Amino acid sequence: MKKQNPLTSATRKVAFGAAAIVVLAGATILTGCKKEEKTQPDVAGIERPSKAVTETYQSGTHNGFFWSLWQSDGATGTVNYANGPGGNYSVNWNGFNGNFTCGKGYSAGSPSYKIGYNLGTYSNSGGGTFGWYGWSRNPYYEYYVNETWGAVSPHTGTYLGTFESDGAGYNVWTRWMTGKNIDGGDGFRQIYSSRVNKVSTGQNHVITFANHYNKWSSLGYTLGQLNIPAIMVSETWGSNTNGNINCTIWMQ
């Protein structure tokens, strides 16, 4: 990653190809990380890219929280990301073609995290999910706790059963990915819990991550080192997608 100078004003506009991304944050920007694009079959008229692409990654700290914004190269359309007070952030996008993720969280993951959050607004005409997200090393896992999702269901791979956490039912899925992991090596595993019923907006909710970590471990999928940032992620992918998300997180 190539580290750039800190932002000198509250607003900085960064252009990636034909896509314009507006970041509202007084934070250091990191660029140049690469991650393999995941593959997904066409569903409901939404096509996800099936080849590896160069991607752009930005991250920093804001009010004690880690934040990041990632998007695939060659994307078109407009994405507006803003860091609000405390653990709040918002993102809206129009006519977006490609894949992006963004969110606020912490500079390292932990199996003991208990995350409170309020999803004030959620609309997403594309694919992609909203929930707790991160990576582990040794072994390489990309993990999700999916609280809600856009127009396309995230339920793919091998179904491993259902369990209850924080008063909600979750389905567990896993699949092996042949793309590049976060360190540029070949292959990694996805593991995720996905709510049986999508979360409601405008109410306080909790994710007790230990419940998911322990459930995955009991099924033979134990995460590795978690000294990698973890965020409450907002994601979209697809063609000509539009959406608006506002979220606030805190540590319980």
Q: Which residues are catalytic?
A: 142, 235
User: Which residue, 152, 48, 138, is CA-closest to 98?
Assistant: 48
DSSP sequence for 109-139: --TT-EEEEEEEEEEESSB-EEEEEEEEBTT
Is 243:129 a contact under the CB 8 Å cutoff? no
Neighbours of 10 (CB within 10 A): 11
SS3 213: helix
> For residue 213, which phi and psi values (nearest 5 degrees)?
-55, -45
Is 232:133 a contact under the CB 8 Å cutoff? yes
- Residue 185's DSSP bridge partners are none
The C-alpha atoms of residue 146 and residue 104 are separated, in whole angstroms, by 15
Place of tokens 């999916």: 146
Is 101:235 a contact under the CB 8 Å cutoff? yes
The C-alpha atoms of residue 168 and residue 239 are separated, in whole angstroms, by 32
Neighbours of 182 (CB within 10 A): 16
Spatial CB neighbours of 140, under 8 Å, sequence gap ≥ 6: 181, 182, 183, 185, 187, 188, 189, 224
**Two tokens, residue 35:** 């991650």
